[in-house]
Amino acid sequence: MPIEQDRRISTVVQREQVRLWSFIRRRVPDPRDAEDVLQEVFSELVEANRLLMPIEHVTAWLFRVARNRITDLFRKKVPESFGETAFADEDGEQLRLEDLLPSPDAGPEALYARGLLLAELELAVGELPAEQREVFIAHELEGKSFKAMAAETGVSVNTLLSRKRYAVLHLRERLQDVYDEFTKA
């Protein structure tokens, strides 16, 4: 009997691993965290089999467990410093990125969304070339004017505008999938 159970588990793992990995990676930006979630899901499958828990729809069960583990992961994570960053809105009023995200007290779905948005934004900004990243952060998050940045750095306003434009284009493209996922939900 244990050999048959091991064979069944191996078959399920081989059949579902790629789909499950893709599902997790779309929601967990850090590949190491995604790998941990995947391992936890398969560990739970082994444990459930060992305890002879009846699982009628294994695929649905795996994806439900994955969703729960992802939620747990985002609950454990300390809020990133990026969420604390303040910036000025059109009226000059100081806002924090944190204020624009779903409240952490609004339940696990909001907490998951909040963590995902912050992580994706931080990764996307981190992917920018240094010059574009510096201009984007200085203008959008620190509220510095292009004129002030030009005076500080000696770089022309037009060059700074161009760098920010490329940064915004990259961020729009990079974050489009996240936006699409949240708007269709």
Q: Which residues lie across from 87 on neighbouring strands?
A: 95
Average pLDDT over residues 14-40: 87
User: Residue 84: is its pLDDT beyond 70?
Assistant: no
Buried b (16+ CB within 10 A) or exposed e, 89-116: eeeeeeeebbeebbeeeeeeeebbbbbb
**Same domain assignment for residues 32 and 99:** no
Question: pLDDT at position 166, please?
Answer: 93
Answer yes or no: are the C-beta atoms of 111 and 75 closer than 8 Å: yes
Decide if pLDDT at 173 tops 80: yes
Please name the residues in contact with 150: beta carbons below 8 A apart, sequence gap of 6 or more.
156, 157, 160
Q: Residue 134: which CATH number?
A: 1.10.10.10
DSSP 3-state of 95: strand
Q: Is the distance from CB of 74 to CB of 36 less than 8 angstroms?
A: no
Average pLDDT over residues 129-133: 89
List beta partners, residue 96: 86
Higher pLDDT, 2 or 146: 146
- On the question of pLDDT at 164 being above 90, the answer is yes
Within a domain: residue 161? yes
Domain of 12, in residue numbers: 2-76
Structural domain count, the chain: 2
How far is 14 from 9, CA to CA, in rounded Å? 9
Query: Who wins on pLDDT, 5 or 19?
Result: 19
Residue 129 is assigned to a structural domain of this protein: yes
pLDDT digits (tens, 9 = 90+) for 29-69: 778 888 999 899 888 888 877 777 666 677 888 888 888 88
